[in-house]
């Protein structure tokens, strides 16, 4: 069975590395980007490989929502998990079109795994 590829986008290197290691251990191929601009370029170059995008919401240069909109312009069916360290953002983020899942930091690896599996399966979990 072919490994699925996930694009991880976060401006904090510690979080990018943690996600890279965690998702690799869970059996995924992982590409990383440090901001929304790099994410859009990487998605454009690797869109046929990428099964899921995990985007941090608050980043310099281009935030996660702006990056998501540009990626959706490339592929309107992209599966996207939007991540934020601000729990109060969950309700607002849940209303954004095209967002498959919301992941609030900090999270445990089992929460990450559940959200990724749910997003890949196209089943939205209860975002409330």
Detail the DSSP E strand segments found in the chain.
5-9, 29-33, 50-56, 80-84, 99-104
Q: What is the pLDDT of residue 128?
A: 37
| pTM tops 0.85, yes or no | yes
CB 74 within 8 A of CB 44: yes
**pLDDT reported for residue 13:** 96
Per-residue pLDDT at 123: 55
CA distance 89 to 118: 20
Low-confidence ranges of the chain (pLDDT < 70): 1, 87-95, 123-128
Q: Is residue 101 classed as helix, strand or coil in its secondary structure?
A: strand
Virtual torsion, Cα 31, 69, 90, 110, nearest 10 deg: -20
């Amino acid at each position: 069975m072919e490994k699925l590829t996930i694009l991880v986008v976060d401006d904090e290197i510690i979080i990018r590395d943690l996600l890279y290691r965690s998702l690799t251990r869970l059996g995924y191929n992982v590409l990383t980007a440090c901001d929304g601009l790099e994410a859009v370029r990487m998605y454009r170059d690797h869109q046929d490989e990428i099964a899921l995008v995990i985007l941090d919401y608050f980043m310099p240069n281009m935030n996660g929502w702006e990056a998501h909109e540009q990626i959706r312009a490339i592929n309107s069916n992209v599966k996207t998990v939007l991540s934020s360290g601000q729990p109060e953002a969950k309700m607002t983020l849940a209303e954004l079109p095209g967002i498959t899942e919301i992941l609030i930091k900090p999270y445990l690896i089992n929460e990450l795994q559940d959200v990724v599996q749910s997003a890949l399966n196209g089943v939205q979990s209860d975002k409330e």
